[in-house]
Chain A
Amino acid sequence: MPDEWVTKESGHMSLQGEWTLAHYSDLKGALDRQGNISSADSISLNGLKRLDTAGAALIVELIGVDKAKQVAEWASELPKEQQALLVRIAEAMDTPLDIQHQTPHRITDALASIGQSMAGVWSQQRQLLAFVGLVLATLLPLLLRPHRWRFTATVAHIQQSGLNAVPIVALLTFMVGAVVAFLGATVLADFGATVYTIDLVAFSFLREFGVLLAAILLAGRTASAFTAQLGAMKSNEEIDALQAQGLDPIELLVLPRVIAMLISLPLLAFVGMISGLVGGAMVSTLSLDISLTQFMTTLQKDVSVTHFLVGLSKAPVFAFVIAVIGCLEGFKVSGSAQSVGSHTTSSVVQSIFMVILIDALAALFFMEMGW
């Protein structure tokens, strides 16, 4: 079979078959092989069985927009619908369809994007400081006016971010406690000092791991929830609606969350410390031949309450930072659902980063102070 789509004989071209999307590449290939027709050539569309927009676009491209618009004059035998289709497509193709892609300039683009992200980090930190100031400025006057405290909202948030997180915090710190005990036993056994495993677990959990693990979990669990809640409200214009009614979104939405975190995180840090110790104790008694009594006595004798206080003193700071970052990122959401997603990610990354940074600085400080 020669060519079923396009045939050309002495300046007369005829198109036949199904000129539809399904055959687009074949049709295009057939046209390429036959080459262009000059305007003098006649063309017949009698053989067309079916025609859709893709096929019509090819025909219009072949014969030119002007000729296609006058299809009624030279192809009156074509069904009315197909004529209408050709005319409509010709009208649509009567505008320049090629678009200019901007050629990327690699080096300057790279420099620009570095500069952009540096400026982004800078403005993010400034916004965070400004927001901390705003929250504190709203919080302090409110402390003197108990009738405006929002107990219901605060308690609801304590339940969501504190109470509901107890199982996961307890389980996680329990397992890390067990791991630390195993690690300690492995290293200390070489010195015949296995019994110091108890001190290792106690020091690390009271000073660092209890509060740090709880804070990192809440950064993942609660900061993201705050961002998503406030972000959904922002994109639904609820926050604008509050402001338009003369209500303060900081007081209504942010403070209950911040206060809930300030209450929840120290409690969760305490839960973390205890269950870390329990994990350590379990490993000690079950596989290190240290009795539970010995564990408890050593704990009482060797570990002073200062370590517990040092650990717990960091909890409110972490709580404040996590809550503020979560809420701020929520307020930064603009419009689309995509924006809620990207700000939620950003709030988790930022709050974990800040928690670890503050923890490192605090460790330096406490070491210098000799606490």
Chain B
Amino acid sequence: MTKTHDQSQHDEQPVISVKGLVNRFGAHVVHEGLDLTLRRGEILGIVGGSGTGKSVLLRSIVGLKRPNEGTIEVLGTRLNDLSEEERSQVERRFGVLFQRGALFSSLNLQENIALPLIEHAKLSREDAEYIARIKLSLVGLPAKAALQFPESLSGGMVKRAALARALALDPDILFLDEPTAGLDPIGAAAFDHLLVTLRDALGFSVFLVTHDLDTLYAACDRVAVLSQKRVLVTDTIEKVAKTDDQWVQDYFNGPRGRAAQTAATSSSTTADLKE
């Protein structure tokens, strides 16, 4: 959704602000005093080793897991204080892409995307399916895919269709859980590009959990590192890569990290040359 008014004022207020978040599973503490902010219109990459609670953080913010302590403010309201009805109103402004797509297997693609349009926006089935086909085309799927069922799709197509469903209601915030995992490098690069163009056109903010270094370099405005049960550092990727922490150094300056960095800088220089 593109807003023209009070742009500067909105810039100052973050769309998501997490303060002092604590998440426990029994005796196992996942987050302890975690702070995080997501600014309007940015793509924030969340990285961290396996088991550092990246997905748990995402689930806490979208309301699938109730945090043990701490406050989560989304779009200026505290989710925990709201009634079911008000909460559902806020949650309509989220789009979530789950790790394995989570498309409804009993519906074909256009019905998958039309479902929230019919349920929430009260469109007629015909209008909803028309808009669904536009969304499918927007994420680069051909029109004939609209009638296909999720089980007959390849991994890349599932991710794209799931993105189209996440975008169905024109969300203000898009949550992506490992969107490029399981895609081949070409598909993953195309997805990064798609994400950035859609963000520029539709103006949503993105909370992106990923392991993919190329995605971090290609798509993210800022990167937050989850380590030791909290957010270690949040900044642009160049600055994060210089953080004095063993894990961060291994991650960003290991062989794969350096390869991604080289790829990112060389592609940006070629882009500069073209201009």
The reply to whether chain A is a binding partner of chain B is yes
> Within the assembled complex, what's the spacing in Å between the Cα atoms of A96 and B137?
10
Cβ contact within 8 Å between B131 and A54: yes
Cβ contact within 8 Å between A88 and B137: no
With a cutoff of 8 Å between Cβ atoms, the chain A residues found around residue B3 in the complex are 50
Does residue A92 face the partner (Cβ distance < 8 Å to B)? yes
Least CB separation from A86: chain B residue: B201
Does residue A121 face the partner (Cβ distance < 8 Å to B)? no
Cβ contact within 8 Å between B117 and A21: yes
In the complex, identify which listed stretch (B67-75, B119-127, B246-254) lies at the interface while the others stay far away: B119-127
Cβ contact within 8 Å between A79 and B2: yes
Does residue A129 face the partner (Cβ distance < 8 Å to B)? no
With a cutoff of 8 Å between Cβ atoms, the chain A residues found around residue B200 in the complex are 81, 84
Does residue A345 face the partner (Cβ distance < 8 Å to B)? no
In the complex, identify which listed stretch (A22-30, A31-39, A159-167, A301-309) lies at the interface while the others stay far away: A22-30
Does residue A103 face the partner (Cβ distance < 8 Å to B)? no
Contact with B along A65-103 (1 / 0, CB 8 A): 000000000000001011011011100110111110000
Q: Which of B122, B127, B135 contacts A53 (CB 8 A)?
A: B135
Cβ contact within 8 Å between B121 and A97: no
Cβ contact within 8 Å between B2 and A97: no
Cβ contact within 8 Å between B151 and A53: no
Least CB separation from A339: chain B residue: B151
Does residue B29 face the partner (Cβ distance < 8 Å to A)? no
- Given A20-B1, A24-B123, A54-B170, the answer on whether A336 and B105 have CB atoms closer than 8 Å is yes
Cβ contact within 8 Å between B202 and A97: no
Cβ contact within 8 Å between B169 and A21: yes
Cβ contact within 8 Å between B144 and A51: no
- Given A21-B121, A85-B2, A85-B201, the answer on whether A53 and B170 have CB atoms closer than 8 Å is yes
Cβ contact within 8 Å between A88 and B131: no
Q: Which of A38-63 contact B (CB under 8 A)?
A: 49-54, 57
Contact with A along B126-148 (1 / 0, CB 8 A): 01001101110110001110110
Least CB separation from B127: chain A residue: A24
- What is the number of residues of chain B that contact chain A, defined by CB distance less than 8 Å? 34
B6 to chain A, nearest CB (A): 12
Does residue B97 face the partner (Cβ distance < 8 Å to A)? no
Cβ contact within 8 Å between B170 and A95: no
Least CB separation from A55: chain B residue: B170
A304 to chain B, nearest CB (A): 56
- Given A24-B121, A24-B123, the answer on whether A99 and B202 have CB atoms closer than 8 Å is no
Does residue A293 face the partner (Cβ distance < 8 Å to B)? no
Does residue A335 face the partner (Cβ distance < 8 Å to B)? yes
Does residue A10 face the partner (Cβ distance < 8 Å to B)? no
- Given A22-B121, A57-B131, the answer on whether A88 and B105 have CB atoms closer than 8 Å is no
Does residue B198 face the partner (Cβ distance < 8 Å to A)? yes
> Can you sample 22 A-B contacts with CB below 8 Å?
A20-B1, A21-B117, A21-B169, A22-B121, A50-B3, A52-B170, A52-B202, A53-B134, A53-B138, A53-B202, A79-B2, A85-B201, A85-B202, A87-B201, A88-B138, A89-B201, A92-B138, A97-B130, A99-B133, A99-B143, A335-B151, A338-B105
Chain B residues with CB under 8 Å of chain A are 1-4, 105-106, 117, 121-124, 127, 130-131, 133-135, 137-138, 142-144, 146-147, 151, 167, 169-170, 197-198, 200-203
- Contacts A84-B200, A92-B137 aside, 15 further interface pairs with beta carbons under 8 A come to A21-B123, A21-B169, A24-B131, A25-B123, A51-B2, A52-B170, A52-B202, A53-B135, A81-B200, A85-B203, A88-B202, A92-B135, A95-B143, A98-B143, A338-B105
Chain A residues with CB under 8 Å of chain B are 20-22, 24-25, 28, 49-54, 57, 79, 81-82, 84-85, 87-89, 92-93, 95-99, 335-338
The 5 A-B pairs of least Cβ separation, nearest first, read A88-B201, A81-B2, A92-B137, A52-B170, A92-B138
